[in-house]
A and B are shown apart, each in its own frame.
Chain A
Amino acid sequence: MSKESMRSPLGRALGLGSAKAGVGEWWRERVSALALVPLTVWFAASLIVHTGSDYATLIAWLRTPIVSLLMVLLLAGIFYHTALGLQVVIEDYVHSGLKILALIGMRFICAGLAAAGILATLRIAFGR
């Protein structure tokens, strides 16, 4: 802490306020929300229609090019938006040194789940 005492009050204050990356994250959360409105409504409606479908019907549906495309977009959108949303939650409630670990862990999990979901979609799309 002693090395910080050399800094001026202005130097200590700069970069600590809200004027960091917040605006960009705020925008990205809104834009991804906007993209997810049609994607999730489409997916929810499709799931309702497919409630009684068997495995073969479901796979045939998932293999349709437009459905595969929308699934990849849906997964990317969901986990992008989830990561931004959970980031706000973690930043609001975790104040200890755990914060950075929680943020990194959360992002790793979101990236891993997005990759797993997209890979599964592609395996179905390009499978035999």
Chain B
Amino acid sequence: MTNSTAKRLRPLSPNIQIYRPQLTSVLSIANRISGIVLSLYAIVLVVWLVAAATGPQAYSNVHVFMGSGVGRILLFGCSLSFFLHLCGSIRHLIWDAGFGFELRTIYASGWTVVLISSALTIIAWIVSIVLAGWNR
């Protein structure tokens, strides 16, 4: 008796697949995906710390893996996800404070997130390669 009301077919909003991707929707899902990705990299952070606490040999294993091709691709993914999530979250915090809701502002801040997070990723890699050399 109570379930009949819950199971009644109600009109649903159109599903996400029929929409053309827009900057707003793409950045929204990008913030969520980068957050999920970063939670996986948080595991790597703990592995790295535990290895450092264990000793030089354990740390060296992690360090060598991070310097390998696969490790570098993973680190690049980590840095890109981090800067994207950082910039996207600052944009969200500004919205949460009640600012920036005009459509023009939303697109301007969206492109700012794309540009700054890409720039920071590239700068981070250039600085780290300049400081340590490609073979570190």
Cβ-defined contact, A1 with B2, below 8 A? yes
In angstroms, how far is the closest chain A Cβ from the Cβ of B123?
A: 9
Nearest-neighbour CB distance to chain A for B5, whole angstroms, equals: 9
| Contact pattern, A 59-72, Cβ under 8 Å of B = 1, otherwise 0 | 10010000000010
Q: Is the CB of A124 within 8 A of B86?
A: no
Task: Flag B1-36 by CB within 8 Å of A: 1 or 0 each.
Answer: 111000000000000000000000000000010011
Within 8 A of A (CB), among B86-106: 86, 89-90, 92-93, 96
B131 to A117, Cβ gap below 8 A?
Answer: no
Q: By the criterion of a CB under 8 Å from any partner CB, how many residues of chain A are at the interface?
A: 38
Does B133 sit within 8 A of A, measured CB to CB?
yes
Is the Cβ of A86 less than 8 Å from the Cβ of B136? no
Question: B39 and A86: CB pair below 8 A?
Answer: yes
Complex: how many Å from CA A116 to CA B52?
Answer: 12
- Cα distance, A116 to B47, chains bound together (Å): 9
Residues of B within 8 A of A23 (CB): none
Determine the chain A residues whose CB is within 8 A of the CB of B136 once the complex forms.
Answer: 51-52
Q: Which residues of A contact B36 (CB under 8 A)?
A: 85-86, 89
Question: Which of A4, A5, A51 is most buried by chain B, counting CB atoms within 10 A of its CB?
Answer: A51
Closest to A41 in B: B86
Which listed residue (A33, A48, A71, A113) contacts B43, Cβ 8 A? A113
The answer to whether A34 and B32 touch across the interface, beta carbons within 8 angstroms, is no
Q: Return chain A residues, CB-CB under 8 Å to B132.
A: 51-52
B38: chain A residues at CB < 8 Å are 82
Q: Is the CB of B46 within 8 A of A52?
A: no
Known: A82-B42, A89-B36. A52 touches B133 (CB 8 A): yes
With a cutoff of 8 Å between Cβ atoms, the chain B residues found around residue A41 in the complex are 86
For window 31-83 of B, CB contacts with A under 8 Å fall at: 32, 35-36, 38-39, 42-43, 45-46, 49-50, 52-53, 56, 59-60, 63, 79, 82
Contacts from B to A (Cβ < 8 Å): 1-3, 32, 35-36, 38-39, 42-43, 45-46, 49-50, 52-53, 56, 59-60, 63, 79, 82, 86, 89-90, 92-93, 96, 124, 127-129, 131-133, 136
Task: Give residues in A with beta carbon < 8 Å to B.
Answer: 1, 4-5, 7, 12, 30, 33-34, 37, 40-41, 44, 47-49, 51-52, 55, 58-59, 62, 71, 75, 78-79, 82, 85-86, 89, 113, 116-117, 119-121, 123-124, 127
